[in-house]
Amino acid sequence: MNFHTRKWVKPEDLNPNGTLFGGSLLRWIDEEAAIYAIVQLENPHVVTKYISEINFVSSAKQGDIIEMGITATDFGNTSLTMRCEVRNKITRKSILTIDKMVFVNVDRDGNPAPHGKTQIKFIEEQFQNEDH
Ligand SMILES: CC(C)(COP(=O)(O)OP(=O)(O)OC[C@H]1O[C@@H](n2cnc3c(N)ncnc32)[C@H](O)[C@@H]1OP(=O)(O)O)[C@@H](O)C(=O)NCCC(=O)NCCS
């Protein structure tokens, strides 16, 4: 799993206990997964369909640097299933895991549309191929 996006936990991201608010983290993850799905499916029109159990493994505090990892686990006909982990960038301690996040590729009317993809596309490889 590649951990692309990092976040610096700031005061506005905290809950009243002074640790990272789960809602903030879920917002970041949903956006991260949407971007991953858009890139993989090569379509800007994707929607969150399903999120499985969310395990808040440990808390993060103000000033922590966290990183988010997403990887595709299944390419369906119109859907893309992903797995997600968030961890502390410095200590590598796990903060959250989600086994299944399903996004659906939709057409301009919001109806499910086949995406035609079957495997993970690595952007670096794409640029390397274009260079040669
Ligand atoms: C996404 C949406 C268009 C799908 O419509 P639908 O009638 O459920 O479509 P389908 O039954 O054809 O399912 C589409 C795909 O989702 C998958 N899917 C449907 N329900 C699922 C569930 N509960 N869990 C996992 N996958 C599911 C199907 O297996 C199918 O995948 P496949 O084509 O790869 O086999 C519709 O549910 C929707 O608009 N939901 C709201 C999305 C949204 O607004 N999200 C933002 C959150 S506020």
- Give the CATH number for residue 9: 3.10.129.10
Separation between Cα atoms, residue 35 and residue 54, nearest integer Å: 20
Residue 28 Cβ contacting ligand 1 at under 6 Å: no
Domain that holds residue 44: 3-115
Question: Could you say which residues of the chain have pLDDT below 50?
Answer: none
* Measured torsion, CA atoms of residues 33, 35, 37, 41, in degrees rounded to the nearest 10: 180
Written as one string, the DSSP assignment of 44-85 is: S-EEEEEE--EEE-S--BTT-EEEEEEEEEEE-SSEEEEEEE
Instruction: Decide: 80 and 123 in contact? Cβ < 8 Å.
Output: no
Residue 84 burial by Cβ neighbours in a 10 Å radius (0-12, 13-18, 19+): buried
Half-sphere exposure of residue 7, counting CA atoms within 13 Å on the CB side? 24
Residue 77 Cβ contacting ligand 1 at under 6 Å: yes
Residue 94 in any domain: the answer is: yes
The total number of structural domains in the chain stands at: 1
Q: Which two three-digit tokens encode residue 38?
A: 């858009």
Residue 33 in any domain: the answer is: yes
Alpha helices in the chain, H assignment, sequence order: 22-41, 123-131
Residue 126 in any domain: the answer is: no
Counted residue by residue, the chain has a size of 132
Separation between Cα atoms, residue 81 and residue 94, nearest integer Å: 21
Residue 90 in any domain: the answer is: yes
Residue 39 Cβ contacting ligand 1 at under 6 Å: no
Instruction: Decide: 115 and 39 in contact? Cβ < 8 Å.
Output: no
Spacing, Cα 105 to ligand 1 middle (Å): 9
Q: Which two three-digit tokens encode residue 2?
A: 């590649």
Spacing, Cα 4 to ligand 1 middle (Å): 26
In the prediction, which pLDDT does 122 show? Answer: 82
Residue 48 in any domain: the answer is: yes
Spacing, Cα 45 to ligand 1 middle (Å): 13
